[in-house]
Chains A and B, each alone.
Chain A
């Protein structure tokens, strides 16, 4: 059963991806990532001296500031900040610079679906541009479940709104073949081939979720090849 996507893509086809680094002058690291029409900008400052009040001073601390395109900062933005912060905390080497704060500022330029995965990707690119030590990259993708059970990768905004449910997934950047994982919600000791982050919207059955995971991981492998080559 073939699904007609609005822009003529196949169910497993991603939107065209563009990534550029070093676009801002004052920031220590900066990157811009666009997937189709969704475009996000990130800047990294750090490491700066001192940690925030309730943070562990023996580790590096991250601060994420999410700036929406228009309007005030509200709860959805705070949630995105928290997810991004925990994702990045799990991929960075926190013991290299203890008692420091690294700030990552995300600016949404255009939102056409799949905003959080774009933000994760751009944050990683900006961290690489700034030279912050990382264990591995986080590659993120959005998988959605259509009403008739097909899994569509990287939906745009209009597709997202018509889906039964969708999930944002972030995997470590790994080109080797994947072993069955121990799955993790954010944080914790990362297993090399595990899922770093998974955020779902809408209801879906467990089988559908596992199918999404499978597709997402395959897509992320392709995406990580692209990222590797663009970061050279």
Chain B
């Protein structure tokens, strides 16, 4: 018992007075103003659904995983979402392993409430067989470093992980059509979760007696604060949850002011999260192409082999360089690649093509099939090259993400993927273009309904 007391960290009276006095002149100990957030960095791990968030000195990791389970009896056609928070003893000397403390439980509950009750994650789309099989989404949040304001950081980590998570595709099969077959990611492209909006948590700390409010407290400020308010809102201005558990009494006007500031900050944070997720998705789409080279090289026969291998190694190098450099230099690399792929495509049009066995199966059946035929049609009739490519560009956005198309990134990825497929294509007749048109329209409508911007 004594050892635990000896090891706890306590604020000294001097530190307390210093922070309070500085706040009187609107200064915080790390140089911020009362309503400034610390620097936020969102990074992603190798797998889908793993995120790492740094908010100033606070470090949180989020992992999302899914499992097929039986649904709750009273909600037979909804999936489930559960949030597990681990206050790792890594984060703070006062955190202990074992049973979660009150603050750990509170943090988990606040994040859970923000996601579940505001219906941010669409649980009905997680149902596979009503009453028997639904997807259960599990979010594990690991707090690595406690620099203050764990709720906000953990919330952002959960959102980022949910946005990049892909669940395996499954279909019904078996004799009675009741068996669920889960397709591994190599066979069928895993699907993203449907997320309607992003509830962002914004935390305020009330320090001292004169209604001094600060946003995003550091752990020093948390040590001396009298009360705390966490407001969860989304970028549309909807208030998802408020948590003010005890602490000092605060005037109504102060609370209203806090909420107004929170809605501004929430929009800001949502934009940052979306930007990070988008650049991750682009990188992911590019690395998907890199997955193909093994099968392509093996099946293509002599005349194309050397060209293919050259191109593959070139792409591999570029992709590896890119993954090292990170998002910043993306656009430059892609432009270079787009140009080189243009040349290669024209080269390949002249060579005789063999039948391509393995490729289409491992791609998303819809998109590649359509792009395939578009390309073949463009080969057959060179006159139509320019408009066809434009069509490809606009349509190819859908397979990778159902969001508003980003021109250069997506067009180049589609070009790259097309020419990989082109290495073994058969030249078909004009009519395939018309066949391709119908599915294209259908998919465009489906994709546009899915993109509920938030």
Contact = CB atoms under 8 A, between A and B. Distances in A.
Contacts of B57: 25-26
Interface string B315-338: 000000000000000000000000
A30 B57 CA distance: 14
B145 A67 contact: no
Name the interface size band of chain B: 20 to 34
Nearest to A108: B142
Given A26-B145, A70-B63, A41 B3 contact: no
B223 to A, nearest CB: 13
A49 B3 CA distance: 6
Interface in A91-127: 101, 103, 105, 107, 109-110
A48 interface: yes
B6 A49 contact: yes
B359 interface: no
B46 A37 contact: yes
Interface in A23-41: 24-27, 30, 37, 41
Contact of B91 (A26, A69, A71): A26
B2 A26 contact: no
B142 A107 contact: yes
Contacts of A30: 90
B168 to A, nearest CB: 16
Contacts, number: 70
Contact of B89 (A50, A70, A71, A103): A103
A118 B438 CA distance: 53
A67 B7 contact: no
B138 A109 contact: no
Contacts of B59: 24-25
A65 interface: yes
B97 interface: yes
B147 A70 contact: no
Q: Interface majority SS on A: helix, strand, loop or mixed? A: strand
Name the interface size band of chain A: 20 to 34
Contacts of A26: 57, 91-93, 145-147, 219
B147 A65 contact: no
A50 B47 CA distance: 41
Nearest to B219: A26
Contacts of A109: 45, 61
Interface string B81-113: 000001011111100010000000000000000
A69 B146 contact: no
Contact of B65 (A70, A103, A107): A70
A108 to B, nearest CB: 10
Interface string B1-44: 01100110000000000000000000000000000000000000
Interface in A52-76: 65, 67, 69-71
B285 interface: no
B144 interface: yes
Given A25-B59, A110-B45, 12 more contacts: A24-B90, A26-B146, A26-B147, A30-B90, A65-B97, A67-B90, A70-B65, A70-B140, A101-B3, A105-B97, A110-B47, A110-B50
13 contacts: A24-B59, A24-B91, A26-B57, A26-B93, A37-B46, A49-B6, A49-B7, A50-B3, A65-B97, A70-B63, A105-B90, A109-B45, A110-B45
Interface of A: 24-27, 30, 37, 41, 43, 45, 48-50, 65, 67, 69-71, 101, 103, 105, 107, 109-110
Interface of B: 2-3, 6-7, 45-47, 50, 57, 59, 61, 63, 65, 86, 88-93, 97, 138, 140, 142, 144-147, 219
Of all A-B residue pairs in the complex, the 6 with the closest CB atoms, nearest first, are A50-B3, A43-B90, A105-B90, A49-B6, A25-B57, A24-B145
